[in-house]
Amino acid sequence: MKYFTAKEKRAWSSNRVQSMCVSYDFYTCGDKEEYEDLLFFVKAFRPTIQNMVIAARNIYDHSDIETLMEKYGTDEKGIFEEIMFGLGETVYTTYEATETMPPTYGIKQANAKAKNNPHTAANLR
């Protein structure tokens, strides 16, 4: 029997970000060059939380916040959260499996550890 582990790979695409902006009516106050800068950023950097916040701030700064607050019935914080949510939808995850040694730690060991952890045990009730 072969044993595997996996590596997570997260990515986003400028096409998905552009579609998201159009769908949510974001980035209505930026010019072509500013919009291209955003899309270049998405192509050049991985979607870490830090990079997603940078992109969200850029989208926020180039959006009609007053109109969006009225449309979504929320405040400025809510609009930023909507932008982050939208960006989250543009991220996709793939997994790369690699062969490994037989596991020494599995479900039974993880469950035993969780049952002995007061923080985890409270969530199990």
In order along the chain (125 residues), what is the average pLDDT of each group of 10 residues? 91 96 96 97 96 98 98 97 97 93 76 78 60
Tell me, yes or no, if the pTM score tops 0.85. Answer: no
Give the whole-angstrom CA distance, residue 95 versus residue 23: 28
H/E element holding 94? strand 92-100
Q: What is the pLDDT of residue 122?
A: 60
| Residue 47 buriedness (CB in 10 A; 0-12 / 13-18 / 19+) | buried
pLDDT, residue 117, reads 78
Task: Please state the domain count of the chain.
Answer: 1
User: Tell me, what's the pLDDT at 1?
Assistant: 86
Tell me the C-alpha distance between 19 and 13, whole Å. 10
| 6 within 8 A of 27, measured Cβ to Cβ | no
- Domain range for residue 82? 3-124
Contact between residue 35 and residue 63 where contact means Cβ atoms under 8 Å apart: no
